[in-house]
């Protein structure tokens, strides 16, 4: 990943500290939240005790790295001071100098939080070096003097509430302009495909896929013959359910595109103008 791109991704982080994305239910990532907050509290205590001499410790693989969690520190002038993760290559670099005027204003707002002992949190889009893709991440951060100390974790699993919200959005768009909406789904439009959430649409008359947000090879194929990874006849079950109801729900085993593993999936259904629109989420472990 090039240095400029790394800076651009870092910018997205701080832009989102003030423009917080919709958050998943807190209980969905309770264990990760506890780990992150504990590591942040430990780092804050260390910085208060040792000052800037603690920064070198934060950039080492050791006491301030917990699995995929690591501490990173930025000062209020916009310079990266420490990182226990891949962004260690940015240490000493003035991030703010790479931003345009609008982003500079947002960045300055984010790093101007008062030193009041409050732990702030936000969600943002961040490059996951391990998976080589941009994923949602939740960060917890606290200002200490003119340092902003942070830690975050990735959130590749969406909640049932987020799946239902996306289903409502896409169903409305299908109702208003089905052809355009199908095209956007098939193009993996970022407004209609979010992390592990994507939609598929079936024509009830032909019983064939007309749109799929992850597997375009399925478009035009027979939906009734679709089976789950453990052999459940989900296509037949969905068609039967939707012939009698306008909304529905089904659970089955399916491959999670974010993890590459077969997982339990819960899919919500909506009948719209002769189509079945579906959005599902994967069980949070």
Residues 6+ apart with CB under 8 A from 283: 263, 264, 265, 266
Q: In which domain, by residue range, is 137 found? A: 3-154
Asked whether the predicted pLDDT for residue 3 surpasses 50, the reply is no
Contact 18, 141 (CB under 8 A): no
Asked whether the predicted pLDDT for residue 161 surpasses 50, the reply is yes
Question: What pLDDT does 124 receive?
Answer: 65
**Domain count along the chain:** 2
The enclosing H or E element of 114 equals none
Higher pLDDT, 61 or 81: 81
Q: Based on the domain organization, do 150 and 16 belong to the same domain? A: yes
pLDDT tens digit string along 20-67? 334 444 445 778 899 999 999 999 999 999 999 999 999 998 999 998
* CA–CA distance, 135 with 158 (Å, rounded to integer): 11
| pLDDT, the chain, mean | 84
In total, the chain counts a number of residues equal to: 285
Question: What pLDDT does 254 receive?
Answer: 92
Q: Based on the domain organization, do 85 and 226 belong to the same domain? A: no
Q: Based on the domain organization, do 11 and 145 belong to the same domain? A: yes
Strand order across the 247-255 sheet: 208-212, 199-203, 275-282, 262-272, 247-255
CATH number at residue 276: 3.30.450.20
With a pLDDT cut of 90, the percent of the chain lying above it is: 57
pTM listed for this prediction: 0.58
Question: What pLDDT does 23 receive?
Answer: 42
pLDDT tens digit string along 164-197? 999 999 999 999 999 999 999 999 998 898 778 9
Q: What are residue 167's phi and psi, to 5 degrees?
A: -60, -45
pLDDT tens digit string along 113-159? 889 999 988 776 666 777 666 667 788 999 999 999 999 988 767 88
pLDDT confidence tier of residue 90, bands split at 50, 70 and 90: confident
* Structure letter (DSSP) for residue 241: H
Q: Based on the domain organization, do 224 and 241 belong to the same domain? A: yes
Tokens of 30: 């309770």
Q: Pick from 95, 122, 154: which residue ends a domain?
A: 154
Contact 202, 238 (CB under 8 A): yes
pLDDT tens digit string along 92-115? 988 766 555 654 665 666 677 889
Q: Based on the domain organization, do 33 and 134 belong to the same domain? A: yes
Q: Pick from 109, 131, 154: which residue ends a domain?
A: 154
Q: Based on the domain organization, do 11 and 133 belong to the same domain? A: yes
């Amino acid at each position: 990943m090039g240095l400029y791109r790394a800076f651009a991704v870092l910018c997205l982080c701080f832009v989102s500290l003030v423009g917080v994305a919709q958050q998943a239910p807190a209980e969905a990532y309770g264990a990760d939240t506890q780990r992150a907050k504990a590591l942040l509290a430990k780092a804050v205590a260390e910085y208060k005790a040792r000052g800037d001499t603690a920064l070198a410790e934060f950039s080492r693989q050791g006491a301030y790295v917990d699995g995929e969690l690591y501490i990173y520190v930025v000062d209020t002038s916009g310079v990266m001071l420490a990182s226990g993760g891949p962004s260690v290559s940015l240490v000493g670099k003035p991030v703010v100098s790479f931003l345009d005027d609008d982003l500079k204003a947002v960045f300055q707002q984010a790093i101007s939080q008062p030193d009041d002992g409050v732990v702030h949190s936000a969600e943002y889009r961040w490059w996951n070096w391990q998976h080589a893709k941009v994923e949602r991440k939740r960060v917890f951060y606290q200002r200490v003097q003119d340092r902003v100390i942070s830690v975050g974790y990735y959130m590749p699993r969406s909640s049932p509430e987020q799946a239902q919200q996306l289903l409502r959005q896409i169903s409305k768009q299908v109702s208003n302009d089905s052809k355009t909406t199908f095209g956007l789904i098939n193009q993996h439009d970022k407004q209609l495909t979010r992390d592990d959430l994507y939609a598929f649409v079936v024509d009830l008359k032909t019983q064939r896929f007309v749109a799929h947000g992850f597997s375009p090879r399925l478009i035009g194929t027979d939906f009734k013959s679709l089976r789950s990874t453990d052999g459940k006849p989900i296509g037949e079950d969905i068609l039967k359910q939707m012939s009698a109801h306008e909304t529905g729900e089904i659970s089955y085993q399916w491959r999670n595109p974010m993890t590459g593993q077969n997982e339990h999936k819960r899919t919500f259904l909506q009948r719209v103008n002769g189509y079945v629109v579906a959005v599902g989420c994967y069980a949070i472990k």
